[in-house]
Structures are given as structure tokens and as C-alpha cells.
Structure 1
Amino acid sequence: MSAQPSPERDPLAHTVRGVDHAAYPTFDPRATITFYRDVLGFPVVHATCALGWGPGDHPDFIHFFFDIGNGDRLAFFYYFGVEPYRDTAIPELLHRARHLAIHVDSEEHLLEYRRRLDASDWPCELQVRHETVESIYVTDPNGYLMEITRPLRAITPEDDIDANVSVEALMAVAGEEDPTLEKFFARKAALIAERYAGEAELVTFA
């Protein structure tokens, strides 16, 4: 058995902070949100809306996150216009969606992991900045996608508000015959307008 590196010799000793999130696809976001948010009581804390990410034929999607305690999150992808088990893109989407994300605190730690990967038989496949995080991705020897991620900024109460408006819009649009990201954005804008109008009335007549 090989010796374990000592903290003095290993620049990454104890820098990994556990699970940031585990992610899966969903083809029924209304039931998924109802189950995790309303039945189990896991609050929605973040949502990323992706228009035109990935290769040219990659479907638009929304990526939403539930708080499951201790700073850990459970995330789901919903792909607009993708029919479960009847779409040729399903196998690749399932592979890319199902992954474990490991949390690190700094850019220095993230880049050191990238250096190690790029010097190995499993080089980094993608490095990208999302709305609140920067991540690197690699496929492990078993064929599982793994993400290592660092925060770009702290999640705020405004992010929580945006996430909850986003999932309400998603639940409304996902029940329609032809859900699209454009319809999602229109519904989200309407919900924001309704909320703003209500708050404006409270200010006016207070």
C-alpha cells in the first residue's frame, strides 16, 4: 500500500470541503419540486437558466438546487423539449447531468486540481464560470462525470427569491404541451411583475 501524503508535503491536504451538490436529470419538474420542496421541506436556494449553453444541438435547460443541510445541495436539470425515453439525446444528457460536485474554497485550490488532472491520464474536460461558481469537469476511470467547484460569490437572499420565482415559473410552463425556455422566461417575468405590482400597492397605500 502506498504511503499517504503528509499535510506538509501535499499542497491540497484538507482543502476539499465535502459535497457541494449531487445532480440528476428530471423529466417531471413539477412532481420533483413538489416532492422535495413541499413534501420533504427542502428549500429551493438557487436556479440557473441556460439558453444556448453547450454544443449547438444541446437543449436549453434550467438547473435548480435544493438545500439539504450542512451546506450540501441536491440539484436537478430540466431539459426543455426533451421527451423521456423517446429522444436520441437522452443517453448523453443522462451522463452529463448525473454527477457529483466537490467543493473547494479558492481559485488556487481549483487550479491545483486542474494541474493534477491535466498531468494525469484523466485531463480536465471543461473549465467554466457559471453565475455563482467556477468549475472544472472530468470523467473518472469508471465513466462517471465529476465536478470540482469553487464559489465566485456568496449566495444571497436575492438568489433565494430568484430561485423560488424560477421554480414557480417552471412548474407552470412544464405543465403545458410544448414547454420552452422562452415560455419559461415570459412566465417568470409575469410573476415578477405581479409581485412588484403587489409590493408597489403596499407602498402606495401604507
Structure 2
Amino acid sequence: MTAAGAVERPGIRRLRVLSAVAAGAMVLVGCTSTAPEAADPAKASLVEQHQLAGLDARQVIDQLDAMPVAERPDDLWASVEPGQLVLSDPTGERAETVLAMPAEEFYLSVAPYETRTHDCYFHSLTTCLGEMSGEPVQVTVTDDATGATIVDETRATYDNGFVGLWLPRDLEGTLTITRGDTSASSPVSTGDDDLTCLTTMQLT
């Protein structure tokens, strides 16, 4: 019902529902706020424009996540999803490119922090920024089902404050990150619906 007891017309009700669905979809985009506009098919592809032609999803991810922040392109979004890497142009000049993720591997990018973090679900390789840039951390991942150690090594966070981890798919495990006398642990999972951007590990 609308004001003064009037009945809302079906067309208006449907428009409101569609608007709500579109707004909700925006939440799934990691560390970005707006969607690209319509692409110009006459433009060079995104992989050609950014010298990524011939690279697979893993190679693109490793290159972009480790890229110094000052060198990151502002006309490329790269969203890491469990099954695909989505490259898009925020200016709308070039068509979206989708690359399949490795069948047996899952990419999880983790931003440990002490005081400042941000919400994220799908990691954005060119826009996500964590608090700790270039910091050495000890990273351990164990398989909860078997107790096996999947990762146990010292890593340095990338310039964007993240540590990138290639993990086996369908893992239910525990991630521990240690820096000096501070540490944090978090459950991790690598299924088809899981997050690729972990920003909730506060080192204490």
C-alpha cells in the first residue's frame, strides 16, 4: 500500500524489485564501487592494452597482485572470483575479459592488519589496499581434516598490503599469520562460493 491507501501499480512494484536486485549485486565486487559502462568493441582488448595477452589467469594474478601500487593502472579492474578472473574497464571503453581459474587451485589474498582494514569478498588486484605494505610475515595453512601442513613459509606482503596464497580447491583449513610477537588465525575454505579476499585477520 502507498500513501493515502492507494494500491501500488504492478509495474512500479517490479521496477523497485529490479532496482533492489541490481543494488545488491554491487556488494559482491571487491574494493570497487561502480560498474563499467558499455564497452566500445572497436577498442583493443584489455589484455592487449595492458600487455597481458597470452597469459593465463594465474600468471595475470601473480603479476598484478605483486605490482607496485604506484604502477597500477587506473583503467583496469581485475576481480578474482573462485572460478574466474574478471578483467573490466571502469571507463567502459573496452569489453570485459574473463579468464578461467586453474581447475585444482584457489587464490586467496590476505591482508593482515593491526589497526585499519576494509570489507572485501572478491579480491580486486588493482584497487584493494591493505595496511601492511612490504612486511615480513610467517604464513601457515593446515588442513583441518588431515592435520597436514599446506603452507609454512615466511613471506613479505605485497606493496598493496596483501599476501597471495595459491591453495588446493575444496580445502577446509586454518590460516595463521605471525609478525614478530603478534599473530592471528582464521578458518579458510576454498570452495566454489568462498571469498577470495580475507581482510579480517587482526594481529594481536
Fold agreement, TM-score > 0.5: no
Using the size of structure 1 for normalisation, the TM-score is: 0.24
- Bigger helix fraction: 1
